[in-house]
Amino acid sequence: MYSGKCVFSQVLEVVSQYEFSKCVKRYKGNHNVREFTCWNQFIQLLFGQLASLSSLRSICLCLKAHKHQLYHLGIKKHVDVSVISRANEHRNWMIFADFSYSLIRLARPLYAGFSVQNLDIENEIFALDSTTISVSINLCTWAEGKYSRGAVKMHTLLDIRRSIPEFIFVSDGKYHDSNIFDVISVYANAIYLMDKTYVDFEALYRINNAGAFFVTRAKDTMRYQVVEQNFNINKTTGLRTDKVVELIIPKSKRFYPEKLRLVEFYDKGNEELLVFLTNNFDVTALEIANLYKNRWTIEIFFKWIQQNLTVKKLWGYSENAVKIHLWMAVCSHLIVAHIKYITESPLSIYEIMQILNTSLFDKTPLRELLNPENEIQVKQNQNIKELFYFS
């Protein structure tokens, strides 16, 4: 991987150009393209993400400053802002979405053995949520949000065990979160964690009928009758009640005619009573509470995305350009996750991003760069040898 190459070149070697070319061919991305291919577009946008650059102009400026190294990155020549901007406007965003999914398929088995905190459950566990990115409605006329403001939503289904997105959907700000059930696939025996925004009994019943499980928060307005109650609970753990209930409002009962489980848990840290709703009757009440607690993994993921990848300041304003931008952010996250695995780095993905941010043109082996303690040990061993030779 190394051979005197700069860090960014080593990063690109991790990326399968063959898989990317299949995505390009699928959508005819290089049709009538002479020089600035989709691969060159991908390289420059990936550089912008890893370097945390806020605009296409900044990307062009930084690459121009290293113009003598561009050939080794696979970039035949420097291009100006208008060329990249035009490519982002017109080349199908599905190229980058499909490539992200190929990276997801690559990353999933690598992190398959990871456990979930405070849980001994073998089921696949997913958290469902969305994050909203504010945009100017005057520039992004397609991205309508609440109160006549512009907004883009990134709906994400996150694999809790691997901290890797399983599914992503980009919409305008008015798209209601619960509508996401119309486009996601539900896996049998999987557990889906979501907040009360997603309480749509018709959608929840579809999850139930697919042989999957959900854990969510009950809305305050939910009306039900208690069918059965488990009095054998340990209240020192925070548990308050564990009930089997049925919905009583006719419309809700028509959408979800079967029994549900209601678990009340007192969160001492936040001094709040949490009421969980689930169709899982197999695990303990405390495991239901711990399952929902792991939903915060997706909040951390969104926070990480917004803090460490360039998504707050968009590189374009058309729907196509915005979607390319967001899918490139996802690609960057997955590529760094893959690098962490192959370099056996003890650092977090956040820490690796910080290092890459300032080292893209350094000529240091990735494994050495991302294993600083190993480097110290090697130097210590070298010093011991020198003392031995000269003593």
In a domain, residue 85? The reply is: yes
Per-residue confidence at 120, pLDDT binned at 50, 70, 90?
confident
Q: Are strands 164-172 and 125-135 parallel, antiparallel or unpaired?
A: unpaired
Q: How far is CA 249 from CA 32, 208, 216, 285, in A?
A: 59, 19, 19, 25
In a domain, residue 385? The reply is: no
Contact indicator for 177, 130 with CB cutoff of 8 Å: yes
Pair (142, 268) in one structural domain? yes
Per-residue confidence at 390, pLDDT binned at 50, 70, 90?
very low
Pair (256, 174) in one structural domain? yes
In a domain, residue 31? The reply is: yes
Pair (157, 200) in one structural domain? yes
Instruction: Give this prediction's pTM.
Output: 0.83
In a domain, residue 380? The reply is: no
Pair (74, 158) in one structural domain? no
Residue 281: partners with Cβ closer than 8 Å, 6 or more residues away: 244, 261
In a domain, residue 388? The reply is: no
In a domain, residue 110? The reply is: no
**Strand intervals (E) in 150-233:** 150-159, 164-172, 191-193, 213-217, 224-229
In a domain, residue 381? The reply is: no
**Looking at residue 216, which CATH number applies to its domain?**
3.90.350.10
Pair (227, 328) in one structural domain? no
Task: Give the pLDDT confidence of 11-64 residue by residue, as tens digits.
Answer: 999 999 999 999 999 999 999 888 899 999 999 999 999 998 888 999 999 888
Task: Give the pLDDT confidence of 145-168 residue by residue, as tens digits.
Answer: 665 567 888 899 999 888 889 999
Amino acid at 63: L
Whether the per-residue pLDDT at 245 is higher than 60: the answer is yes
Pair (121, 161) in one structural domain? yes
Pair (90, 145) in one structural domain? no
Can you tell me the mean pLDDT for 257-270? 95
Pair (122, 83) in one structural domain? no
In a domain, residue 310? The reply is: no
Q: How far is CA 366 from CA 91, 132, 332, 375, 378, in A?
A: 32, 34, 16, 11, 15
Nearest to residue 50, comparing CAs of 303, 385, 329? 329
Nearest to residue 178, comparing CAs of 112, 130, 119? 130
- Number of folded domains that form the chain: 2
Pair (131, 63) in one structural domain? no
Residue 66: partners with Cβ closer than 8 Å, 6 or more residues away: 361
Which residues form the domain of 93?
7-97+315-375
Pair (93, 120) in one structural domain? no
